[in-house]
């Protein structure tokens, strides 16, 4: 039986290094959102000296491949990831992941996020519900997702 991998890698040929590419992308993000170095270091979870080394192409850069991957994902989301994203759809996807990954019942999730089970069922079936209840489901589902995935 063929094995499936849960990760895909895309390669492209370019005449600049990955560090140069990230340098350009980080500077574009900084300019687009008016981020300072301290904010960039926090966003990309890098010490200031590593961020400075990356941005100034100085000395040895002690950034792991995993850190580079995370930086690239954050840049992609900041630059293009939220534009066409419907908040309700995203919350519903996270909610479905919680139910599937943790094998939660709808009733238990409803209790955890403090809504009525019927409202949660209607939300998942895309039936119109009160906007305040919908907002509560979205926000609390996202918070629950991050609490459990921390």
Domains of the chain: 18-81 (1.10.260), 87-148 (1.10.260)
How many angstroms separate the CA atoms of 56 and 52, rounded?
A: 6
Instruction: Check: CB of residue 106 under 8 Å from CB of residue 117.
Output: yes
- pTM above threshold 0.85: no
Instruction: Give the position of tokens 């079936």.
Output: 125
The dihedral over CA atoms of 29, 146, 99, 97, expressed in degrees to the nearest 10, equals 20
pLDDT at 137 > cutoff 90 = yes
Distance CA 75, CA 86 (A): 19
Q: What is the pLDDT of residues 51-72, one digit of tens each?
A: 888 888 775 567 788 888 899 9
pLDDT tens column, 26-52? 999 999 999 999 999 999 999 998 888
**What pLDDT digit, counting tens, does each position of 93-123 carry?**
889 999 999 999 999 999 999 999 999 999 9
Where helices occur in 10-86 by DSSP H, the ranges are 18-33, 37-43, 48-56, 65-76
Average pLDDT over residues 118-136: 95
For residue 131, the number of C-alpha atoms closer than 13 Å in the C-beta half-sphere is 0
Output the average pLDDT for the chain. 85
């Amino acid at each position: 039986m063929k094995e499936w991998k849960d990760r895909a890698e895309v390669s492209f040929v370019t005449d600049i290094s990955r560090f140069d590419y990230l340098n350009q992308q980080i500077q574009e993000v900084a300019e687009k959102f008016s981020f300072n170095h301290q904010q960039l270091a926090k966003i990309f979870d890098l010490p200031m000296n590593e961020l400075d080394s990356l941005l100034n192409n100085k000395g040895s850069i002690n950034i792991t491949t995993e850190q580079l991957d995370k930086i690239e994902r954050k840049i992609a989301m900041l630059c293009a990831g939220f534009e066409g994203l419907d908040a309700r759809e995203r919350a519903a996807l996270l909610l479905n992941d919680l139910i599937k990954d943790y094998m939660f019942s709808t009733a238990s999730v409803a209790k955890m996020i403090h809504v009525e089970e019927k409202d949660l069922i209607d939300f998942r079936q895309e039936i119109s519900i009160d906007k305040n209840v919908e907002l509560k489901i979205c926000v609390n589902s996202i918070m629950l997702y991050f609490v459990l995935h921390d």
